[in-house]
């Protein structure tokens, strides 16, 4: 099967979903180009997805499952069970936090976990810590919406809450990474609303996040900036 973006779109049967992929070119950059080909490396992948709504990410994961004989488990608080009719798909009506209910219906380990429900740092962090153990070594935990650039003042999607939530999520992921550098690698994509890709490299238990202790707003840095300004 040919793996170009155009071929992938051709395979999408649902007209509305296809239209979204066509119209929002940012999706191509932050999803398709950021990890689609990488996901095709997994044979018989097991994928856990949190957040279905339009079915955009679901359509991509199902395409991968179809090519590599995988299985996708999608969770949402709203009933999207009729959105796709696919033997490779299981929909579970549940809140992402409801680990007890979800664990009864999913396998123990996953190659890919994708999070796209509530884009707030505390929530993302909670779900990441809850489900990280379910990821195999060499597996990917993908977190959607970590870029705030398009939500900044005057930018194309100017939005106060989305800007601060996405930026806080990005910073929280750095705080987690700072204390887990031997447990996983992390890569960020800033196209459109952005995404983070965590590659699990050890089976050790995750450490708690630590503060970044940035010097950005320190008196020393303010003095440095003032000095540069005065010299101009
Ligand atoms: C941004 S949309 C997902 C978009 C989807 N990934 C796509 O590509 O079309 C967020 C989804 O998360 C669901 N959701 C919100 N809070 C949730 C929660 N706590 N647990 C499970 N699903 C949740 C919403 O019902 C909605 O369908």
Atom of ligand 1 nearest to the CA of 144: 6
pTM for the model stands at: 0.97
Condensed to tens digits (0 to 9), the pLDDT of residues 181-217 reads 999 999 999 999 999 999 999 999 999 999 999 999 9
CA angle, 197 then 202 then 35, to 5°: 20
Supply the pLDDT for residue 3. 73
Whether ligand 1 lies within 6 angstroms of the CB of 96 is answered as yes
Residue 168: CB within 6 Å of ligand 1? Answer: no
Q: Which of 26, 27, 53, 82 to probe ligand 1 with, by most ligand atoms within 8 A of CB?
A: 53
Q: What is the mean pLDDT of residues 1-26?
A: 92
- Asked whether 3 and 39 are in contact (CB, 8 A), the reply is no
Please give the sequence-ordered ranges of beta strands (E in DSSP) within the chain, or none if there are none. 46-50, 71-76, 89-93, 110-115, 135-144, 184-189, 195-200
CA distance 71 to 66: 8
Judge whether residue 2 has pLDDT over 60.
Answer: no
How far apart, in whole angstroms, are the C-alpha atoms of residue 170 and residue 156? 20
Q: Rounded to whole angstroms, how far apart are CA atoms 31 and 58?
A: 11
Q: How far is the CA of 18 from the centre of ligand 1 (A)?
A: 19
What are the structural domains of the chain?
Answer: 5-231 (3.40.50.150)
Does ligand 1 come within 6 angstroms of the Cβ of 116?
A: yes
């Amino acid at each position: 099967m040919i793996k170009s973006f155009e071929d992938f779109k051709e395979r999408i049967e649902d007209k509305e979903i296809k239209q979204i992929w066509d119209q929002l070119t940012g999706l191509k950059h932050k999803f398709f180009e950021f990890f689609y080909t990488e996901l095709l490396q997994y044979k018989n992948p097991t994928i856990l997805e949190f957040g279905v709504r339009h079915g955009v990410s679901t359509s991509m994961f199902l395409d991968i499952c179809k090519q590599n004989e995988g299985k996708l488990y999608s969770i949402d608080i709203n009933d999207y069970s009729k959105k796709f009719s696919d033997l490779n798909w299981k929909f579970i009506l549940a809140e992402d936090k409801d680990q007890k209910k979800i664990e009864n219906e999913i396998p123990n380990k996953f190659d890919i976990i994708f999070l796209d429900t509530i884009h707030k740092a505390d929530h993302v962090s909670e779900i990441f810590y809850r489900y990280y153990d379910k990821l195999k070594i060499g597996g990917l935990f993908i977190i959607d919406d970590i870029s705030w650039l398009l939500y900044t003042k005057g930018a194309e999607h100017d939005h106060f809450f989305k800007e601060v939530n996405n930026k806080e999520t990005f910073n929280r992921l750095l705080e987690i990474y700072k204390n887990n550098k031997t447990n996983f690698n992390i890569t960020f994509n800033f196209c459109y609303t952005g995404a983070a890709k965590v590659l699990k490299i050890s089976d050790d238990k995750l450490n708690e996040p630590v503060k970044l202790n940035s010097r950005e707003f320190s008196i020393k840095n303010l003095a440095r900036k003032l000095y540069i300004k005065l010299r101009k």
